[in-house]
Chains A and B, each alone.
Chain A
Amino acid sequence: MTLRRFARLVALDLRRSRRRLAAAGIGVAMGVAALVFLLGLALGLRSTLLQRVLPLDRLEVAAEAKNLDLLGLRFGLGSDTLDGELLASLRAVPGVAAVYPKMKLTVPAVASGGGSLLGSAVQTDLVADGIAADLVSDEVGDVFRFEGLETGTLCESDRQCGDQAYCSGGGAGGEGSCRRYVPVLVSPHLVELYNGSFRRAYRLPQIDPEAVVGFTFEMAFGASTLRSSGRRPPQRERMRLVGFSDRAIPLGVTLPLDFVRDVNVAFGSARAADAYHSAIVRLDRPRDGPAVLAAVEEMGLVVTDRGARRAAQMMVLLVAILAVVGGAVLVVAAVSVAHATYITISGRRREIAVMRALGAGRGQIRGLFLTEAGLVGAVAGALGAALAVGAAAVIDAMGRFWVPDFPFKPDSFFEFEPWLLVGGMILGVLACVFGATWPTLEATSADPAKALSES
């Protein structure tokens, strides 16, 4: 039989059996939809948790602090920082792709401004962390890269300095120099906290995270509203909010590492330049985690987010459970298809016998029925995958409108990788072909005379 004639026969048969096949296909479509939907949900949640909340391919490592508790106070014994040598040792651990040091701002700082945004200027003490721009470049690009404060350009007004700098010491006929804003990153969690609680308590307006990027304010380093300032006069800088990052500290502001280092040295000692408070260790692969963890502990360091790692591993387990549930739904659908196909093919025994009498070989009949089943499976699989994506879009839309913002709320709860959609379609085909195989083999194995005599 030529391909064209075979296709013709399949087309005729599908046309004739469209209602029956649609009924059988719906079962598989629902099974595929359930599997793709559950796996998409599991992968979406996994991505959110592992990439944003609890990154499984990253460990935060710190020096183990030794403390002495006395009369309700805790006194630190020895150093609790990492130096460049330790960081180099960390980079040499097999399975470590990169090490990003983090440095806390060790002097008090006061932020002030916000009159244009909040209606009246506010002033508050702030804590800050310094991180390397490379750590967040995948999230915010290059806007966080710090190129030093001085530009070397003389000016009389801010307009002469462009967007990234302001005129320091200029104005009123005096000549100043352009000085760069210090780029600032903020955690989305902080904005949610402000919009959720802080603004209500202080009767301040709600802020739109998108609209506040570019907002500038002033910070005085070495100053405090809580206690008297030190001997050295505060260092005043203008800050510019350049974006939001899940890797920014939840409460406070995140500044470029080089800037924080300079401030710490200026207000402390030269040793502060090599005193990092923790480091983010990025792994080559998540599965390298246990080995790297062991190596880190051997170096006398501690991983600060063990609980998070356990939660991340639980998430992996959850994904596996959802996959098993989805797979079970598909298996039930396949058995249902097998049953429906068995009944259908049993009802076509006479037709099969007639075709055999007219010269059709067993292989041709089997090819015909299994091709039909495969086509139904492909359509059902595609429909199932589309249903899953559609249902996910509806749920995401509902989530956007009805679920209040919460920290790390994702844009989508689902993640449909191409392999998942293609895999869903292939599973649909396999389910239908599997369902049709046994009844097809049984129906074609008997002599045609038997089926003809039964009709």
Chain B
Amino acid sequence: MQDPLLAYTLPVIQARSVTRTFPGRGEVLRGVDLSVGEGEFVTLVGRSGSGKTTLLNIIGGLDSGYEGTVEIDSTDLQTLGDRALSILRGSTVGFVFQAYHILDHLTVAENAALPSLFQPTVNAMSRDALNERVDQVLSAVGMAWRAAERPATLSGGERQRVAIARALLLRPRVLLCDEPTGNLDPHTGHEVVDLLRRIHEDDGVTVVVATHDEVISRSADRVLELRRGRLDDWGGPVRAEP
């Protein structure tokens, strides 16, 4: 079993002794150490309630109620104020959720462009440049042809593609995916996995996927398993124990 702190490339995510306690649930994470190198494709497996989503939320700066330290790109998240943390979330991290979380009142293109509204780095970008980038990411996920449509007309797989396009808009260094195929049928799920894999290979994005899906696990560079709040590193793409 590989020491999780010994990533074989430069660590872009580094977590040390992360403990998270929820009232009524006790310690969900117990002193988790994690290191993910630049350009890695890592899967996080474990039973329901094992803390996969909690760990992703902490890494992504969505949950600040933990003990220990988490660094993204050598920046300790606990030292950042709300604005700085928001900028880091928008510029460095991309999220893909199981429930897609795309906004029904916006079109596909508007959903994909949503992160640009909040980032000061995008302010200098011209409207044409932004539109071009939106078209680029929608094309990358095969959804450019439905750019003007509302999410209500899309299938689950298509919604997840839009969510992936949205996550990629600002060229994040890290893509955090929480059960991205959890709401999809196996065939569509495989397509989404292929898409994530392609993005990883083409753009060199570091991808961390929390999943139950063995297909995704098999395609990962490294598989990490959360068991009773602790993290085991299974090394290369192996089947996680049930």
* Chain A interface (Cβ < 8 Å from any Cβ of B): 1-2, 5-6, 8-9, 12-13, 15-17, 350-351, 353-364, 447-450, 452-453, 455
Contacts and interface: CB of A to CB of B under 8 A. Distances in A.
Given A12-B106, A447-B62, A1 B120 contact: yes
Contacts of B117: 1, 5-6, 8-9, 360
Contact of A359 (B54, B57, B86): B86
Given A356-B62, A358-B115, 8 more contacts: A9-B117, A354-B101, A357-B62, A360-B86, A360-B90, A447-B57, A449-B62, A453-B53
Interface string B62-103: 111100000000000000001100110111000101010101
A449 B120 contact: no
Contacts of A362: 82, 86
Closest 8 A-B residue pairs measured CB to CB? A359-B90, A16-B105, A449-B63, A449-B57, A361-B86, A449-B62, A360-B118, A359-B118
A15 B106 CA distance: 10
Contacts of B65: 447
Contact of A358 (B58, B63, B118): B118
B128 to A, nearest CB: 14
B188 interface: no
Given A1-B118, A8-B117, A361-B118, A356 B86 contact: yes
A12 B107 CA distance: 10
B136 interface: no
B44 to A, nearest CB: 15
A360 B118 CA distance: 5
Interface string B126-161: 000000000000000000000000000000000000
Contacts of B219: none
B90 to A, nearest CB: 2
A76 B110 CA distance: 93
B24 to A, nearest CB: 13
A359 B119 contact: yes
Contact of A452 (B89, B97, B123): B97
A215 B51 CA distance: 99
A340 to B, nearest CB: 19
6 contacts: A2-B123, A15-B105, A355-B114, A357-B60, A357-B101, A358-B114
A361 B82 contact: yes
B217 interface: no
Contact of B87 (A8, A350, A354, A359): A359
B95 A357 contact: yes
A128 B151 CA distance: 85
A295 to B, nearest CB: 65
Contacts of B170: 359
Given A12-B105, A447-B65, A452-B97, A363 B83 contact: yes
B86 to A, nearest CB: 4
A358 B62 CA distance: 10
B173 interface: no
A362 B82 CA distance: 7
Contacts of A358: 89-90, 95, 114-115, 118, 166
A12 B114 CA distance: 11
B103 A354 contact: yes
Contacts of A350: 101
A363 B86 CA distance: 10
Given A1-B118, A359-B89, A362-B82, A12 B97 contact: no
A13 B95 CA distance: 22
B35 interface: no
Given A359-B115, A361-B82, A12 B120 contact: no
A6 B116 CA distance: 11
A447 B89 CA distance: 13
A5 to B, nearest CB: 5
B110 A1 contact: no
A447 B64 contact: yes
Contacts of B82: 361-363
Contacts of A17: 105
Contacts of A355: 114, 118
A89 B58 CA distance: 85
Contacts of B166: 358
Nearest to A354: B101
A351 to B, nearest CB: 6
A452 B101 contact: yes
B130 to A, nearest CB: 9
A13 B104 CA distance: 11
B144 to A, nearest CB: 20
A358 B60 CA distance: 10
Contacts of A364: 86, 118
A256 B103 CA distance: 79
A359 B65 CA distance: 19
A354 B111 CA distance: 11
A201 to B, nearest CB: 75
Contacts of B62: 353, 356-357, 447-449, 452
A360 B116 CA distance: 10
Contacts of A9: 117
Contacts of A354: 101, 103
A5 B122 CA distance: 10
A364 B82 CA distance: 11
Nearest to B54: A449
Contacts of B110: 12
A6 B117 CA distance: 7
Nearest to B60: A357
Nearest to A17: B105
A424 B41 CA distance: 59
Contacts of A452: 57, 62, 97, 101
A359 B80 CA distance: 14
